Structure 1
Amino acid sequence: MSNRNKKGSTAAAAPTTTKSSPKKNAPPTSSPHYQKILSRCVTILAVLTVVYYTSKNGKEITFAKQNEILRIRSQNLDCSESYKKDLKSFSGCMPEKCGRFVSDGLVTTGEADSLLNIAQKGIALGGSDGGASILDLHSGALSRGRSFVNVYSLENTKDIFNKADLTTYKVIKTKIQHAIGHNFGVDADKLFLTHPTFFSQIHPREAVTAHDEYWHPHVDKETYKSFHFTSLLYLNDYGKDFQGGRFVFVDKDNVNSTVEPRKARVSMFTSGAENLHFVEKVSAGVRYALTVSFTCDQTYAIADPTVKTVD
């Protein structure tokens, strides 16, 4: 699912590198770093204002209910200007229309169970002290305590993952890639898997670090520069395996569009400011999901995890 310093993420934050500090002699008010922080504060304040009035007025539509089985459902939106400007550099990647899609027919429940097994096995080797844990099979990042470890450096990793696990993972990633291409009218071959792509596990425990605070409203493209298209594959069921944890798009006119997680349900959306969103706090049970992110910029592409990584 959040990098608190970057207005959150879809679930929990992947670890990031720290930039060097500005020179001590530079006037604080003229520092680009200071100006960037100020700009982010203004953005966060605006977002919180929208969320406050949305909650106050109680306007909400359920875009996808847990008990529905949807072949495909869509909401079209105008692309944000910043999103369109960024994509002009990448031929074949401008969507015909921005927005979001939900499908219950893309991934089977059996495939979702296989991925759930991978997530549970991997996260069991670590786990956050707070409410949100991640497992990134590409970088090896695994939440443990109040920080992260490399899952591939642990002694018993070789007994956890196998070639069949990673093959299932790759097949599902490819299905989602082509579904995004088809539904948004872009060339699927121009979409590249990017970081962070990760499993998330969310408990109702209190947050211990900023990485546990997954519920803040945010825009994926602002949180992660590489993102152009975001997808979420839910691995268990809202209302059965956990309470809370719905995915909420914050739209214009103070209306929330809510997706209730259903096992094997895939939610796909453009990563620009047109899709401001947050995840409700989980109040009971454990929520599992897989975030799969794509970029049109090949310099941000990451490779599929391979069995060599775990041998």
Structure 2
Amino acid sequence: MHFFLYKTQFLGHKTLFFRDILLLQVEVSLSHSFSFASLCSEGMLCGRDRPGEDPVDWWLCSWSDITEVLASQRELVSPEPRVFTVQCSEDYENHKRYPGCTPQKCGRAVADGVVTREEAQVLRRLAERGLALAGSEGGASILDLHSGALSMGKQFVNIYRYFGDQIGDVFTPEDFQLYRDVRGRIQAIIAKTFGLDPTLMYLTKPTFFSRINSTAAKTQHDEYWHPHIDKVTYGSFDYTSLLYLSDYDSDFTGGRFVFMDQNGNRTVEPRAGRVSFFSSGSENLHRVEKVTWGTRYAITVSFTCDPAHAIADPTLP
């Protein structure tokens, strides 16, 4: 059995955090030492008391040899999405509830009938043109058409301010119209699947293109593979979606999306035009495998129920 071990910090009763990211809610006693080996063999929590020191060291242990593929690259999940229901976490209780939007039914889903492969190719070319202007020195680069954020070396620049009038030579109004249309379709399928009022869902930040390759990380921003929970990382998130723009095992290897459940890993293999979406709470702890070859393109499209955190669709300056 292979374990993923993540150093964590205990911050409160029944709650464990990793880099301020909620990993798991459990009931354990911290009053006595634990056997690292025995607890890990159960696939639960591992711990080590450090008397007189605060905090206690903790690790989350996850199986890598128990893996279920939710959707493979070779299959077509259409016309209806493939839905997997999970119990909602308590994360949403820590935020104001919005009837008709706040998750009451939680889960994860995959759909190949929302965006065509041809549309995905157009959006990939948009991302390629934008990221060709700069890009990260490490393996992960982002392009955010809403804020203008673009990876450049070890930092970010505002693509609209930095390149000014040149942007008109990179992007077209038709590019942005397709982006808006696709965003609307993703919003609609999430609302239909989870029984929501789509007019009560709002696009939120960050929503961005990502390009990932096997280049070694140069900064923390390049370390995309860490497990995380979107609702904890970005408090505004209620629903997260990813639109894949390239194919697993053809355009790249590694880079699968992994839901980390207590009884094993469940993966989604990217396929150009595939939309994967899920409720953003700790019921959907996840990570992305390291890309080992090729280049992985995707768009993260995030939604909130809180209108105060809404962002507008992007427009050309």
TM beyond 0.5: yes
Alignment counterpart, residue 66 of structure 2, candidates 59, 67, 71: 59
Letter of the 1:170 counterpart: R
Letter of the 1:123 counterpart: L
> What residue is the counterpart of 2:304 in the other structure?
295
More divergent stretch after superposition (77-86 vs 163-172)? 77-86
Alignment counterpart, residue 138 of structure 2, candidates 130, 133, 141: 130
Distance 1:45 1:78 in 2: 16
Compared CA separation, residues 138 and 46, structure 1 to 2 (3 A): closer
Letter of the 2:75 counterpart: E
> What residue is the counterpart of 1:107 in the other structure?
115
Letter of the 1:100 counterpart: R
Offset at 1:51? 6.0
2:290 maps to 1:281 = yes
Deviation readout 1:255-276 (Å, 9 max, x if unpaired): 1000000000000100000000
Q: State whether residues 227 and 285 of structure 2, in contact with CA within 8 Å, keep that contact through their aligned partners in structure 1.
A: yes
Offset at 1:84? 4.5
Alignment counterpart, residue 251 of structure 2, candidates 231, 241, 247: 241
Alignment counterpart, residue 260 of structure 2, candidates 232, 250, 270: 250
Offset at 1:52? 3.7
Compared CA separation, residues 137 and 62, structure 1 to 2 (3 A): same
Alignment counterpart, residue 280 of structure 2, candidates 267, 271, 277: 271
Deviation readout 1:71-104 (Å, 9 max, x if unpaired): 2211100000122553x52121134520001000
Letter of the 2:69 counterpart: T
Letter of the 2:294 counterpart: G
Distance 2:114 2:314 in 1: 22
> What residue is the counterpart of 1:97 in the other structure?
105
> What residue is the counterpart of 2:194 in the other structure?
184
Distance 1:99 1:45 in 2: 18
Distance 1:205 1:95 in 2: 37
Deviation readout 1:190-224 (Å, 9 max, x if unpaired): 00000000000001000000000000000001110
> What residue is the counterpart of 2:160 in the other structure?
152
Distance 1:192 1:279 in 2: 25
Structure 1 segments (4+ residues) deviating >3 Å: 38-53
> What residue is the counterpart of 2:147 in the other structure?
139
Compared CA separation, residues 245 and 51, structure 1 to 2 (3 A): farther
Number of residues of Structure 1 aligned to a counterpart in Structure 2: 271
Alignment counterpart, residue 76 of structure 2, candidates 69, 80, 83: 69
Q: State whether residues 233 and 267 of structure 1, in contact with CA within 8 Å, keep that contact through their aligned partners in structure 2.
A: yes
Alignment counterpart, residue 167 of structure 1, candidates 168, 177, 183: 177
Distance 1:63 1:267 in 2: 10
Compared CA separation, residues 110 and 53, structure 1 to 2 (3 A): closer
Select the structure of larger CA radius of gyration.
2
Q: Percent identity?
A: 52
Q: Which has the higher contact order (CA 8 A, sep 6+)?
A: 1
Q: State whether residues 92 and 103 of structure 2, in contact with CA within 8 Å, keep that contact through their aligned partners in structure 1.
A: no
Letter of the 2:229 counterpart: V
**Secondary structure of the structure 2 residue equivalent to 1:167:** helix
Compared CA separation, residues 53 and 170, structure 1 to 2 (3 A): closer
Compared CA separation, residues 194 and 281, structure 1 to 2 (3 A): same
Distance 1:129 1:185 in 2: 42
Compared CA separation, residues 41 and 128, structure 1 to 2 (3 A): same
Superposition TM-score, scaled by structure 1 size: 0.82
Distance 1:67 1:284 in 2: 19
Q: Pairwise CA RMSD of aligned residues?
A: 2.2
**Secondary structure of the structure 1 residue equivalent to 2:237:** coil
Offset at 1:252? 2.1
Distance 2:246 2:150 in 1: 20
By percentage of residues, which structure has more strand? Answer: 2
Distance 1:210 1:122 in 2: 22
2:50 maps to 1:40 = no
| Gaps in structure 1 of 5+ consecutive residues | 1-6, 8-33
> What residue is the counterpart of 2:91 in the other structure?
82
